[in-house]
Structure 1
């Protein structure tokens, strides 16, 4: 009896100390358990919107070879300066012209023995490549710009990707279409299951991408260029947005 009387106050004291914690965390945990048990429906929707491109990004490169690195660099620089001057004269802003690559590589002549193994490697020259990434905001000038660049010494590259400077409106339309598809899916599923569709508990955007972007083309840079400008077809850019939506369910 004495042992019990001594330990009881301690137990009561601990219980009183923990009571505020139980009151503070108990209801929250209970609500979390209820929320977890609440029936929900999660669906995804995808929306697309197409728009004509208003800008092209063109890759142009000048490649020159010579016996020495200095001679190859000098020849490359002279040709690239002419290309840059022509681009600026054609209305391309400096902010839309960017050097994307500059490289110098030795060129080797290899001698092989009869058994196929390489015996010697001799440097016989150097190749210098200077590449530009050019944004063309006036697509009506694209064909003539490529044509003129080739005449001035561009002999590599020619990759073109069409894009939009500000695709905000197209992406907004794609978002609306994605949400509409998600809502339609949810209604179809709940009607088929014979349950009521509740309120939206959560909505998130999964991804936004230009898919597919207008085709990327690669044009051969030949020495002999036709007098007419290079024909270019811009097509359309399609922007795709995915959304994920979670609904509560009723009986």
Structure 2
């Protein structure tokens, strides 16, 4: 009887010891998992890279606007003015580096509503002319020549860059964006008393190529189209190429 009680007691102690040991192992494992969880972070960090380009191409956008009661007369006058303007521009810029082409053409109806009813009073013809050059010093002269040739409206001056320049700037902007994201990740790691470990994932968010347009005020219809021979001063702004990315990084 005594032997049986002793055996039961010993078995109970061993069972409790095994359970305690299991509990310790589970607790230790949980602590390790908990510790590992709090010492490794996966975070997403945005990065931005911006490259400024000096423009290498300039385009002056001229527009002529002719109004008449008769559609055929409006069209004929518009065609005559465009032909005359192109000839004068070619003559005045004979040895200069430029290209010239026509743009948007539009014929629209004109109505009068003063009597309370819609009445057709004529037609309006608008035609655009683009003069493009790689010599940006020529922009002012192009404007002066175009106005003197009878082009009664200037819709703006666009500045841009060629494809090779844009690709090179875009690649540089990507590098800057990655460097920006890495800098932010290291700063976060330092604040958390951790270390920047590795880049896990790269995501290309977007890129923005922002051509700059300097708008030259349009001349009102009916104003004198002759101007002095002094070139109009026009200054080109820089073209911004921006890239936004996102890095997923590991801190530990």
Could you tell me the TM-score, scaled by structure 1's length? Answer: 0.72
- Report what 2:99 is aligned to: 93
Q: 1:220 aligns to what? A: 218
Displacement of 1:76 in angstroms is 0.3
Q: Count how many residue pairs are aligned between Structure 1 and Structure 2.
A: 203
* Preserved CA contact (<8 Å) 2:214 2:236: no
Q: How many angstroms does 1:178 deviate by?
A: 1.2
Matched, 1:137 2:134: yes
Paired position in structure 2 for 1:103:
106
Please tell me whether the aligned partners of residues 178 and 245 of structure 2 are also in contact (alpha carbons under 8 angstroms). yes
Specify every segment of 5 or more residues in structure 2 that has no aligned partner in the other structure, as ranges. Answer: 1-39
Alignment of 1:238 with 2:216, yes or no, is: no
Question: What's the C-alpha RMSD, in Å, of the aligned pairs?
Answer: 2.2
Secondary structure of 1:40 counterpart: strand
Specify whether residues 226 and 88 from structure 1 end up closer, same or farther in structure 2 by C-alpha distance, changes over 3 A only. Answer: closer
After superposition, residues 38-77 of structure 1 pair within 5 angstroms as: 39-77=41-79
SS of alignment partner, residue 200 of structure 1: strand
The residue number in structure 2 matching 1:209 is: 208
- Distance in 2 of aligned mates of 1:86 and 1:137: 20
Deviation at 1:215, TM superposition (A): 4.4
Give the match's secondary structure for 1:195. Answer: coil
Distance in structure 1 (CA, Å) of the matches to 2:213 and 2:195: 45
The alpha carbon displacement at 1:148 in A equals: 1.0
Distance 1:81 1:110 in 2: 34
Could you say which residue in structure 1 is the equivalent of 2:182?
Answer: 183
Deviation (angstroms), 1:88: 4.7
How far does residue 111 in structure 1 lie from its aligned partner after superposition?
A: 4.9
Tell me the residue number matched to 1:6: none
Which stretches in structure 1 are left out of the alignment for 5+ residues? Answer: 1-37, 113-117
| Residue 199 of structure 1: aligned partner | 198
Distance across 1 between alignment mates of 2:89 and 2:250: 58
Question: In 1, are the aligned partners of 2:107 and 2:124 still within 8 Å (CA)?
Answer: yes
Once the two structures are superposed, what CA deviation does each residue of 1:50-75 show, in whole Å capped at 9, x if it has no partner? 12111123321111122211111000
1:227–1:68 distance in 2 versus 1, CA, 3 Å:
same
Distance 1:220 1:93, change over 3 A: closer
Note closer, same or farther for the CA distance 1:110–1:184 as it changes in structure 2 (3 Å cut): closer
TM-score by length of structure 2 reads 0.72
